[in-house]
Amino acid sequence: MSGASKIQDPIQKKKSKHPQGSSGKVRVEVDTMGNIDVPVDRYFGAQTARSLINFDIGEDRMPRSVIRAFGILKQAAAETNVELKSLDRKIGSLISQACDEVISGELDIHFPLRIWQTGSGTQTNMNANEVIANRAIEIAGGMLGSKSPVHPNDHVNLAQSSNDTFPTAMHIAAAEEIQHRLIPSVEKLRIELSKKSEEFSEIVKIGRTHLMDAVPLTLGQEFSAYVSMLESNQIRIQSAMSDLFELALGGTAVGTGLNAHPEFANLVADKIAKKTDLPFSSAENKFAQLAAHDAVVAASGSLNTLAGSLMKIANDIRWLGSGPRCGFGEISLPANEPGSSIMPGKVNPTQSEAMTMVCCQVMGNHTAISIGGSQGNFELNVFKPMMIHNLLHSIRLLSDSCISFSDRCISGIEANQNKISEHLENSLMLVTSLNPHIGYDNAAKIAKNAYENGLTLRQSAIQLELLNDEEFDLWVRPEKMLGPN
């Protein structure tokens, strides 16, 4: 059985201009381990083929954003090497053309590798080198697998190592996804919650602490907490991104920069910054960039905090909307779909449920990232693919769920004024407003008597002869209990 017979192409949703073949034909490629069969219509080479055989683990494939990041960094490296006269201009141009197709996603089908591979990401770096080299060879009119005129190691990987390219791709991918996907999604949700906070600003309701009745606030004030939480999370996420903007490229194998031009690191970082329109720069200490991934752990930590905030918000929303007749029922949630296969007419808080599941997953992802980040040994951390996979998974889930929660839940929330008023009037905690007038002990007597005898606060106060009607009306006014007085 040939080596290629065990290579299976991934199921691809994105169409490529280089479609999957069905002929079963192969070509022979060579690496330091010897010959191996590769599908004739694939740009990847021997090392990718071996990885498909050796790491047939799970279904998690390298995220598209990482592949795009490799296209960006390989193109920037080729341009830098040409500028430094380390690479022939014609070869550099061929590499750059192939990289354009990697960046755009046209060659996605040629990147089949899974997350569960070497912890340095070497196979994915070589996957990129091989695909870019073979596509460049094809553009030049050469033969796939010939390594001429473009060699995957000598040219595409010039002045690089898997140990500095993969961390660089991690940072590029994470920063782009946070900047262009997560931040706009969180802002969309924040704006929608802010609209509701303003809309509900005059609706006085009972507060709850320890899940028990407390003093009043407005529904708008309650929602303002959610807005403030998201604003704080936005600041934390932006702060965490600053570390992602430091790049390892130029550190090569262990951080010393062996085999790279002295000016390579700064020049290539500048080019990456221009290509992404993000403030990337060369990391001052590349030993740390290879051996530890604190920036990734910190970024994940900011997402973990966001997940904690969203969990609280989603839980509050579904509790406030519980009912419709036997729950709190203080807000009405949009009815998006039938809620039960057996109970007719039931509608469930499904957007809150989806959001809370996402938050659980993000917290789990962060746990794995934290453990992975702690496992650097000497000059290299070898948990890189898992860490970036989990981080990008968290970014995507949070981004999508914020949009869904905003569009299909928050925007359609309505206040149930009747239920809110009912709860407010029945609450014993309005007695707190009497503390300055009759003292804590007397106020407590009124509340206790009302609770034990099924009375209203007014009835209890008059029965105990601690207040008259006029005094009660003057001092127990929920709308006057909404701030310092």
SS3 (DSSP) at 344: coil
Co-location of 224 and 362 in the same domain:
yes
Cβ distance 277 to 270 under 8 Å? no
Domain boundary among 93, 126, 158: 158
What's the pLDDT tens digit per position in 116-170?
A: 999 999 999 999 999 999 999 999 999 999 999 999 999 999 999 999 999 999 9
d(CA 168, CA 350): 38
Burial of 304 (0-12, 13-18, 19+ CB in 10 A): buried
CATH of the domain at 274: 1.20.200.10
Q: Pick the last residue of a domain from 158, 176, 197.
A: 158
Q: Is residue 484 part of a domain?
A: no
Residues 92 and 198 in one domain: no
In this structure, the answer to whether residues 445 and 410 fall within a common structural domain is no
More confident: 364 or 14: 364
pLDDT for residue 8: 45
Helices and strands, number each (H, E), in the chain: 17, 8
Taking the model in full, what pTM does it have? 0.91
Task: Tell me what pLDDT residue 344 has.
Answer: 66
End-to-end alpha-carbon separation of the chain, Å? 84
**pLDDT digits over 305-359, tens only?**
999 999 999 999 999 999 988 999 999 999 887 877 777 677 889 999 999 999 9
- Buried b vs exposed e over 446-473: b needs ≥16 C-beta within 10 Å? bbebbeeeebebbebbbeeebbeeeebe
Give percent of the chain above pLDDT 70: 95
pLDDT at residue 481, rounded to an integer = 82
Number of independent structural domains in the chain: 3
- 63 in a domain, yes or no? yes
Same domain? For 327 and 226 the reply is yes
Catalytic residue among 104, 232, 239, 340: 340
Q: 29 — phi, psi (to 5°)?
A: -115, 160
* Residue 21: CATH number of its domain: 1.10.275.10
From 44-58, 341-355, 439-453, the region with the lowest mean pLDDT: 341-355
Domain containing 451: what range?
428-479
Query: For residues 173 and 245, is the Cβ–Cβ distance under 8 A?
Result: no
214 and 78 in a common domain: no
Co-location of 318 and 246 in the same domain: yes
Least confident span in 151-165, 191-205, 461-475: 461-475
35 Cβ contact partners less than 8 Å away, ≥ 6 residues apart: 28, 29, 46
- Residue 237, in any domain of the structure: yes
Q: What was the pLDDT predicted at 345? A: 73
Residues 125 and 188 in one domain: no
User: Helices 122-139 and 46-54 meet at what angle, rounded to 10?
Assistant: 140
Q: What is the CATH number of the domain that holds 453?
A: 1.10.40.30
pLDDT digits (tens, 9 = 90+) for 69-85: 999 999 999 999 999 99
**Residue 429 in this model has a pLDDT that exceeds 90:** no
Within this chain, do residues 282 and 375 fall inside the same structural domain, yes or no?
A: yes
pLDDT digits (tens, 9 = 90+) for 202-251: 999 999 999 999 999 999 999 999 999 999 999 999 999 999 999 999 99
Do 111 and 44 share a structural domain? Answer: yes
Q: How far apart are CA 450 and CA 241, in angstroms?
A: 55
Q: Any idea which of 21-30, 275-284, 287-296 has the lowest mean pLDDT?
A: 21-30
> What CA–CA distance (Å, rounded) separates 50 from 183?
39
Is 28 inside a domain boundary? Answer: yes
Shared domain check, 222 and 180 = yes
Asked if residue 14 has pLDDT above 70, the reply is: no
| 346, part of any domain | yes
210 catalytic? Reply is yes
Beta strands in 10-145 (DSSP E): 26-31, 34-39
**Cβ(467)–Cβ(438) below 8 Å:** yes
187/124 same-domain check? no
- Residue 291 belongs to some domain of the structure: yes
Within a domain: 423: no
| pLDDT greater than 80 at residue 11 | no
Q: What is the pLDDT of residue 155?
A: 99
* Tokens 């030993």, residue located: 287
pLDDT-derived band of residue 409, with 50, 70 and 90 as boundaries? Answer: very high
Residue that is last in its domain, among 418, 440, 466: 418
Q: Check 210, 242, 293, 309 and give the catalytic one.
A: 210
What does the pLDDT read at residue 305? 99
Q: What is the CA radius of gyration of the chain?
A: 30
**One domain for residues 197 and 178:** yes
> What is each CA distance from 435 to 128, 227, 382, 470, in whole angstroms?
72, 32, 62, 17
Per the structure block, which two tokens stand in for 316? 């509050």
Respond yes or no: is residue 261 known to be catalytic.
no
Phi, psi of 344 (to 5 degrees): -60, 140
Q: Is residue 485 part of a domain?
A: no
CA 117 to chain centre: 23
